[in-house]
Amino acid sequence: MTHRLNDRVIWLVGRVALRAQKVIGEQLDGVPQRKQHYGILASLVDRGPAVQAQLAGRLQIDRSDLVTFLDELEAAGYVERQTDPDDRRRKIVAATPAGVAVLERLDTLVHAADDDLLAPLSTKDRDTLVRLLDRLLPDEDR
Amino acid sequence: MTHRLNDRVIWLVGRVALRAQKVIGEQLDGVPQRKQHYGILASLVDRGPAVQAQLAGRLQIDRSDLVTFLDELEAAGYVERQTDPDDRRRKIVAATPAGVAVLERLDTLVHAADDDLLAPLSTKDRDTLVRLLDRLLPDEDR
DNA sequence: CCTATTTCAGTGTTACTGAGATCG
DNA sequence: CCGATCTCAGTATCACTGAAATAG
């Protein structure tokens, strides 16, 4: 009870996320891609192509915002949108080879940002933190 | 390397913070106070009165935004601003008895939100998570 | 006709920036 | 005159809302 704020995860995680945002912002400074571009490419590469609505659900990005991010990635040649032959309302999104390449460059930066953020923790503690945070996400997001 | 996004704390913590924000939003629905009001009151009560700039630093709230939140809390009678007699540029902010009371009501809601967010974790794991997250914050924020 | 999907425009929220006012 | 503090107005970022367009 002495330090309420340090005992409330709701508060703590917001603070840490704010700091994380700054750190990743520094790493991506001057790079035309952002956190969300990284997330989209990573999801497409690691988990395969997806229909936009699925992809939005997977990443918990608003379907509306996803349109914009995909527009940007498509314009840069990093993803492709193809109409689903089985249901022409849908568009299947996939990463291009150039997208895979840029993802790997971005991942280096994101990894560096992680190292920065996690500097106070040992390797073991980092793993524990990842595992615990992961369990807080709804199943469909994993 | 199979699931990049689940291994990057920068990404994970953003997702969790987003979920946390929703959960606390639900708990505070209909309550005129917000997360930041809670944070301010908790800091003032648990760590004592402070000059605005210090308080902003402690909470990592922008000094500019703090003005607005304090205006609201002061109008409601939950905090008082007094000019520092030693330096009349400064204003010392303190919680009033009414502020202490409302903090305790808010804390119940925040605690409930935490329980909701942390539902998948055991008590022990929750403690571990709090401890790890806390270590990621710069010293001056604790 | 109704539903699902993508897209677009507008809104709300939250944090930040820069400059003015006051005071030491 | 300089620097610190608080305040105010405007900007930027990011997520959300609601509806149009297209198609099953």
Question: pTM of the prediction?
Answer: 0.91
**Dist. CA A122–CA B25, nearest whole Å:** 33
Please tell me chain A's helix, strand, coil percentages from 3-state DSSP, rounded to the nearest 5: 65, 10, 25
User: Residue A54 above 90 pLDDT?
Assistant: yes
- Percentage of the residues of chain A whose pLDDT score is greater than 90: 85
What confidence tier does A55 reach under pLDDT thresholds 50, 70, 90?
A: very high
What confidence tier does A48 reach under pLDDT thresholds 50, 70, 90?
A: very high
Task: Enumerate residues near strand D (beta carbon within 7 A).
Answer: A 21, 34-36, 61-62, 64-65, 87-89; B 14, 18, 22, 51-53, 56, 63-64, 67, 70-71, 81, 87, 89-91
Q: What is the mean pLDDT of residues A20-33?
A: 89
The pLDDT, as a whole number, for residue B85 is 95
What confidence tier does B93 reach under pLDDT thresholds 50, 70, 90?
A: very high
**Dist. CA A50–CA A64, nearest whole Å:** 16
Instruction: Give the minimum alpha-carbon distance from A134 to chain B in angstroms, rounded to a whole number.
Output: 7
3-state secondary structure of A50: strand
Contact between chains at B110 and A11 (C-beta distance less than 8 A): yes
Pairing between strand A79-83 and B79-83?
unpaired
Q: Which of A47-51, B27-31, B41-45 has the lowest mean pLDDT?
A: B27-31
The pLDDT, as a whole number, for residue A6 is 80
Closest amino acid to nucleotide D16 (CA–C1') = A62
Q: What is the pLDDT of residues B5-38, one digit of tens each?
A: 888 999 999 999 999 999 999 899 888 889 999 9
Longest dimension (CA), chain B: 61
User: Residue B2 above 70 pLDDT?
Assistant: no
User: Residue A1 above 60 pLDDT?
Assistant: no
Q: What is the pLDDT of residues A76-133, one digit of tens each?
A: 999 999 999 999 999 999 999 999 999 999 999 999 999 999 999 999 999 999 999 9
The pLDDT, as a whole number, for residue A32 is 84
What confidence tier does B83 reach under pLDDT thresholds 50, 70, 90?
A: very high
What confidence tier does A134 reach under pLDDT thresholds 50, 70, 90?
A: very high
User: Does A117 reach chain B within 8 Å, measured CB to CB?
Assistant: yes
Which residue carries 């035309």 as its tokens? Answer: A32
**Dist. CA B39–CA B112, nearest whole Å:** 16
User: Does A100 reach chain B within 8 Å, measured CB to CB?
Assistant: no
Q: What is the mean pLDDT of residues A34-46?
A: 95
